[in-house]
Amino acid sequence: MITAEENQLLTQTGPNTPCGEMMRRYWQPVALAEELPAGGAPLKVRILGEELALFRDDQGRPGLIGLHCAHRGTDLSYGRVEDGGLRCLYHGWLYDICGRVIDQPGEPGGGANKDSIRHLAYPCQESGGVIFTYMGPGDPPLLPNYEFLTAPPQRRTVVKAFYECNYLQGNEGNIDPVHLSFLHQVLDEAQIARQRIVQAVNATDNTLLGRDVAPTIEVEVSNFGLRIYTTRDAGADKRYLRVTNFVMPNLAAFGGSTVGDGYAVHWHVPIDDHSHWKYIFAFSRDKELDEFLRTRSRVELTADYRLARNAANRYQQDRASMKTQTYTGLGTNFQVHDAFATESQGRVQNRTAENPVSSDKAIVAARKLILNAIKDVQQGREPQHVVRDAQANRFTNLVVLSEVIANGVDWKEYTRSRELK
């Protein structure tokens, strides 16, 4: 159990909050690249409690600037993209992607004092189908070279989904091994569109997760966050090993449809303290993703990336199906399951009322890392996993596994043997 003060530290991410200041030391996704095509309209975005305008200039470069014009406060997301920047519709002030005012057409000579005005602007980079921004002080760190960002386009996919709850609730769900044996359980595997068969025991992940609902869990600190080992009885003197990773400060890598060849990632980005975007990545190291893998995370999403099953319609729960089809009666879409579990905790979960147990050890450890990172920033140090060394910008030890091993095998050593060379 944590204190009310610690819960606030962990969950309040707006400007000038301790956690918000820590989160701003990292590159964060601000939009999907598909939302901002070349020549497309600017976007009004909200991230970490700030309202901003995102646009591509006429060279295709993304820019993120303060939403309201520095002149008289008009919304710049309605503006014209032209002449090397974004032009306000009210008086024609023109901003480049760095926030410089490069034209004041209503002033003599195009504005004698325009060079003295610097509008709020945050640097952007585009990678892996996502536009990232750095909202912190000083020179930006390196954008991490995660495999799911650098894989060729035909081997990766990304989408996002809106969640009406604090980012931390989603983040913690990723590193909770036991919920897989309940929340996501499918009773009738014919309901699963495509099943992954674990060859060593000729069983699906769903079957193995349901067979042993009280796994052995161990957690170790890594250079990027946490590595979480979970083993379950797989029968016939075998163990079902899953390795998941918590990556500071707000993402997790875990077994998905491409596990064994790649993995999935959930990156939880605060809109404000009461809602967030979950960016959902999947990639393969060796194979092109087929249409099924490219589109499965878009199932039941509306055009504006909201879940069609949501709290307003009680996630369309079918209680009759709980007898024979799924544990929850919420269909087979894991994103819907996650939304129900985390949104129903309240917009900001009251962690002072919870009762953590031994299987929550990864969640407890992740909270400690985040609190330590907040303290680091408060004391003038860089938090864990801010990357500035190009030689260290390759995460060979970010290993995700979901496979069966023999009893007696040291699963930690086995996992280390699977690190990239």
Residue 175 has what pLDDT? 97
Residue 201 has what pLDDT? 86
Residue 138 has what pLDDT? 97
pLDDT average, residue stretch 64-81: 98
The H-or-E segment that residue 239 falls in is: strand 238-247
Architecture field, domain 147-417: Alpha-Beta Complex (3.90)
Look at residue 63 and tell me whether its pLDDT is greater than 80: yes
pLDDT in tens, 288-347: 998 988 888 898 999 999 999 999 999 999 999 999 999 999 999 999 999 999 999 999
Residue 166 has what pLDDT? 98
pLDDT band for 421, please (50, 70, 90 cuts). Answer: confident
Look at residue 110 and tell me whether its pLDDT is greater than 90: no
Look at residue 4 and tell me whether its pLDDT is greater than 90: yes
Residue 308 has what pLDDT? 97
β-bridge pairing 101-103 and 121-122: unpaired
Residue type (1 letter), 380: G
Instruction: Please choose, from the candidates 334, 207, 217, the residue with its C-alpha nearest in 3D space to the C-alpha of residue 266.
Output: 334
pLDDT band for 34, please (50, 70, 90 cuts). Answer: very high
Residue 109 has what pLDDT? 85
Instruction: Name the 3-class secondary structure at 401.
Output: strand
Q: Is the pTM of this model over 0.85?
A: yes
Residue 193 has what pLDDT? 67
Give dist(CA 358, CA 39) in Å, integer.
53
pLDDT band for 132, please (50, 70, 90 cuts). Answer: very high
Percent of the chain with pLDDT over 90: 89
Residue 314 has what pLDDT? 98
Residue 88 has what pLDDT? 98
- Please state, rounded to an integer, the average pLDDT across all residues of the chain: 95
118, two tokens:
């610097």
Q: What are phi and psi of 5, to 5 degrees?
A: -65, -45
Look at residue 359 and tell me whether its pLDDT is greater than 90: yes
Write the class of the CATH domain 27-133: mainly beta
Residue 391 has what pLDDT? 94
Give dist(CA 224, CA 183) in Å, integer.
28
Contact 219, 365 (CB under 8 A): yes
pLDDT average, residue stretch 80-105: 97
pLDDT in tens, 268-291: 999 999 999 999 999 999 899 989
Instruction: Provide the residue ranges of all domains of the chain, joining segments of one domain with +.
Output: 27-133, 147-417
